[in-house]
Structure 1
Amino acid sequence: MNDRFDVVVAGAGPAGAQCARDLAARDYDVVVLETESEDGFPRQSNKSTGGTFPSMLSAFGIPNEVVMNFTDDIVIESPNEHLVQQQAGGVLDFGAFKNYLVNDGQEKGAEYRFDARVSNPITEGGEIVGVQYNGSKEVYGEIVVDATGPAAPLAKALDVSDLKREKQAIGIEYEFEGVDLDVEGYADLTDAMMLRLDHEFAPGGYSWIFHTGEDTAKVGLCYIQNESYQRYADTRRTVDGYLRHWLDTDPRFRDAERIEGRQHRGSAHIQGPGGLSTDNFMAIGDTVPTIDPLWGEGIHKGMRSARAAAITADQCLIPNEPDTSAENVSLYDDLWHTEVAPKMDARLMLTEMLYLAPNDRYDTLLRDLQRLDENTMAEANQGDKLALAKLLHLDDLPLLAQFAKYRLRR
């Protein structure tokens, strides 16, 4: 078995598999180490809602066959209001999507080793030169990529990862049939992806309904155990209990039945990336993390981080004398901040302030968005200060003061 490659990728999630796919297409020798077995893949790591947009599908050549349903609208709900905006999207069968990336990468020449649990970096002179897995097995690469998500065994060992427990969001999702998508008093969710801001069901977070075709939908929620959680949460309820509370009280689920075997749990960190790279090494996907701080969409950003890493590896390895020094690999950092997640700090501030707001402020926010230009929400989501200013009121001064105290404590 070959133990030396141009690039070693730890993790076969969307980011890791896409990075390997891009590199194999450029004829690099790349190996992917994946914890799960090949027969069961991706049973344990099938943890995403799979909501994404046509720009991702076209940019990465993703076939329609892995899309459960193409959607026309994005709906945002608060306790008493809703906003509908036309925005094409797609809800992926996440397992089928991951299998496609792996199979396509293998066809392009990437090697996959399943049942391969990565444990430690192999270092020489303080620099990573390979990976240890399954106890004593070793594999070496000119560049190593950590795409293992929040576990981040390599990034943590190299002091690249700075994932903070208090910024970890937890989530749960079920798939249902018999969902009533057009109930009086609510927005019509036919061919829509809906996000709900409501502390009753997701204190310090949000819940969702993604239509997956006919009367089926993905239904879930997530939250961070932040100050809003501490203020609004019923500590007797687990995340499962909050989802059950929503299912029991929302008329859209009156006749809904869970689809057996279609349950997903996961976690992600809502924070800045900390470190991204060092000598011979890059961290991608949720290892960084790369999830959208406001709405939780992580697939597109994870795929873009994978492509940025592949572009960087290509630059480092093309010359006759490869240069994988931290200085040269830092191209990845530049691409991450300009192409993958620009204005990340501003968008994180918006996220933290949004989740601190009470439920009645969510109603006001949606009324404002209904009144303003349809681009305001998109511009605010991208951290545009003028758009953010349009959404603020004099009554928000106590909220802003609370937010300032929260940031100072952080």
Structure 2
Amino acid sequence: MPDSYDVIIAGAGPAGAQCARDLAERGYEVVVLETEAEGEFPAQSNKSTGGTFASMMTSFGIPDDTVMHATESVVLESPNEHFVQGQPGFVLDYEAFKEFLVEDGRHKGAEYRFDARVRDPIVEDGDLVGIRYNSDQEVSGEIIIDATGPAAPLAKDLGIANLERKNHAIGIEYFFEGVDLDHPDFADLTDAMMLRLDHRYAPGGYSWIFHTGGDRAKVGICHIQNERYREHATQNRTVDGHLEHWLDTDPRFKNARRVADNQVRGSAHVQFPGSMSTDSFMAIGDTVPSVDPIWGQGIYKCMKSARAAAMTADRCLTRKIDTSAEEMTVYDDLWMDQVAPRQDRRLMMMRLLYLASNERYDRLMQDLNKLPRDILSDINDGNMREIVKLLYPSDLSYLWKYWRGT
């Protein structure tokens, strides 16, 4: 007979590890299956820039020793303009962050099995009862959670994942020293997280510079692999080619030196999720997907989806065990209400944004600089009344492209 647990979690990323923390703290027997070998973890899954804000740090009790650098502002750039928003943030040491989640979960009672590649769900008489991993190893549980990201082996087998290639975003990031963070031709990026909208460098996406202290910074680009968003591209470059082009032409990198053996590659799907649960099963984190459509911030969303799943599991396993699809949909409701409210509006904002031209990005920055902070917050939250105020008659062409493509 396979080992039995209350909850089995596939994947030890931020979502899976946080869900294990929450459930173990509630006293449940939890096991996490992670593909990487323990001695390597998380070297092969270091796929995040690690930018986050105080709300995530305090909500989930993340210690300061996982932080590379505390920042004071967020900067948005277009080809010729910029906008600065004072907002404290944190650039995480992503490896230290993931290691903390795992160790804290173990301290609370969660079990981890590394070098455990999930193969498929085990279904008996129509009921999901466990997971098969590696060649022939099995583990059984009352509730199964897929936190494996876009691979989604369990969610796909159970007909839950609806990830579409046209919504697939890919990114690459290098770590540099010698970056000119206060170049006279640009905004001061000292103690800042900067996001740049510029089709020359990231057609259908954005690029970034996150200050990590001294003259060091994380530098990368991300774009969606969809030709509708990349029609402004002037060259048929790969994501690596676009990053190299930026590094070659931006004077802030003139004397920059890449820190050896430090490269991050990752991907996520940016789309509205379909069903996120079924009998005895939930999908969390980037398996859903949970990444923010506009600025790509994924850590906080992943952590919140993990907590919503833990709350649902606690509810279903308390007193009389009921893991029916009807009961598991509590997770879907929590996701829509607490993890990513107004997700449909944020997706619309993203699609319109990436269809715009570089000239329109410059005008957007000019407009943002004229608005009070409360209006900016409303726009970021998807307030349609305030969003409409940013539109011009010339934007009808973008609106037409958007409606034609939906």
Taking structure 1 as the reference length, the TM-score comes to: 0.97
Aligned mates of 1:406, 1:373 — CA distance in 2: 33
Aligned mates of 1:381, 1:133 — CA distance in 2: 42
Within-5 A mapping of 1:89-104: 89-104=89-104
Instruction: Tell me the equivalent position of 2:111.
Output: 111
Instruction: Tell me the equivalent position of 2:166.
Output: 166
Instruction: Tell me the equivalent position of 1:389.
Output: 388
> Does the Cα contact within 8 Å between 1:369 and 1:376 map onto a contact in 2?
no
Instruction: Tell me the equivalent position of 2:154.
Output: 154
Aligned mates of 1:22, 1:362 — CA distance in 2: 42
Instruction: Tell me the equivalent position of 1:13.
Output: 13
In the TM superposition, what whole-angstrom CA distance separates every residue of 1:16-44 from its partner, at most 9, and x where no partner exists? Answer: 00000110111100000000000000011
- SS at the partner of 1:130? strand
- SS at the partner of 1:24? helix
Instruction: Tell me the equivalent position of 2:361.
Output: 362
Q: Which amino acid aligns with 1:161?
A: A
- SS at the partner of 1:159? coil
Flag as ranges the 4+ runs of structure 1 deviating above 4 A.
Answer: none
Instruction: Tell me the equivalent position of 1:247.
Output: 247
Q: Which amino acid aligns with 1:47?
A: K
Instruction: Tell me the equivalent position of 1:32.
Output: 32
Instruction: Tell me the equivalent position of 1:282.
Output: 282
> Does the Cα contact within 8 Å between 2:16 and 2:306 map onto a contact in 1?
yes
Question: What displacement does 1:406 show?
Answer: 1.6
Structure 2: runs of 5 or more not aligned: none
- SS at the partner of 1:179? coil
- SS at the partner of 2:223? strand
- SS at the partner of 2:44? coil
> Does the Cα contact within 8 Å between 2:81 and 2:362 map onto a contact in 1?
yes
Instruction: Tell me the equivalent position of 2:237.
Output: 237
> Does the Cα contact within 8 Å between 1:270 and 1:289 map onto a contact in 2?
yes
Aligned mates of 2:111, 2:246 — CA distance in 1: 44
In the TM superposition, what whole-angstrom CA distance separates every residue of 1:83-106 from its partner, at most 9, and x where no partner exists? Answer: 000111100011110000000001
Instruction: Tell me the equivalent position of 1:348.
Output: 347
How many residues of Structure 1 are paired with residues of Structure 2 in the alignment? 406
Instruction: Tell me the equivalent position of 1:324.
Output: 323
Question: What displacement does 1:186 show?
Answer: 0.6
In the TM superposition, what whole-angstrom CA distance separates every residue of 1:191-217 from its partner, at most 9, and x where no partner exists? Answer: 000000000000000000000011100
Instruction: Tell me the equivalent position of 1:178.
Output: 178
**What's the % identity of the aligned pairs?**
62
Instruction: Tell me the equivalent position of 2:219.
Output: 219
Instruction: Tell me the equivalent position of 2:134.
Output: 134
In the TM superposition, what whole-angstrom CA distance separates every residue of 1:366-409 from its partner, at most 9, and x where no partner exists? Answer: 111111222333222211111101111112112211221122xx
Instruction: Tell me the equivalent position of 1:339.
Output: 338
Aligned mates of 1:222, 1:146 — CA distance in 2: 25
Aligned mates of 1:181, 1:287 — CA distance in 2: 35
> Does the Cα contact within 8 Å between 2:127 and 2:279 map onto a contact in 1?
yes
Question: What displacement does 1:2 show?
Answer: 6.7
> Does the Cα contact within 8 Å between 2:356 and 2:398 map onto a contact in 1?
yes
Aligned mates of 1:53, 1:128 — CA distance in 2: 37
Q: 269-278 vs 394-403, which deviates more?
A: 394-403
Question: What displacement does 1:125 show?
Answer: 2.6
- SS at the partner of 2:252? helix
Aligned mates of 1:382, 1:156 — CA distance in 2: 31
Question: What displacement does 1:299 show?
Answer: 0.1
Question: What displacement does 1:231 show?
Answer: 1.2
Aligned mates of 1:387, 1:229 — CA distance in 2: 24
> Does the Cα contact within 8 Å between 1:203 and 1:228 map onto a contact in 2?
no
Aligned mates of 1:92, 1:279 — CA distance in 2: 36
Q: 225-234 vs 95-104, which deviates more?
A: 225-234
- SS at the partner of 1:333? helix
> Does the Cα contact within 8 Å between 2:205 and 2:224 map onto a contact in 1?
yes
- The answer to whether 1:261 aligns with 2:261 is yes
Cα RMSD between the aligned structures?
1.1
Question: What displacement does 1:229 show?
Answer: 4.3
- SS at the partner of 1:44? helix
Question: What displacement does 1:362 show?
Answer: 0.4
- The answer to whether 1:124 aligns with 2:124 is yes
Structure 1: runs of 5 or more not aligned: none
Question: What displacement does 1:249 show?
Answer: 0.7
In the TM superposition, what whole-angstrom CA distance separates every residue of 1:240-287 from its partner, at most 9, and x where no partner exists? Answer: 111010001111111110111211000000101111000000000000
- SS at the partner of 2:45? coil
> Does the Cα contact within 8 Å between 2:150 and 2:268 map onto a contact in 1?
yes
Taking structure 2 as the reference length, the TM-score comes to: 0.98
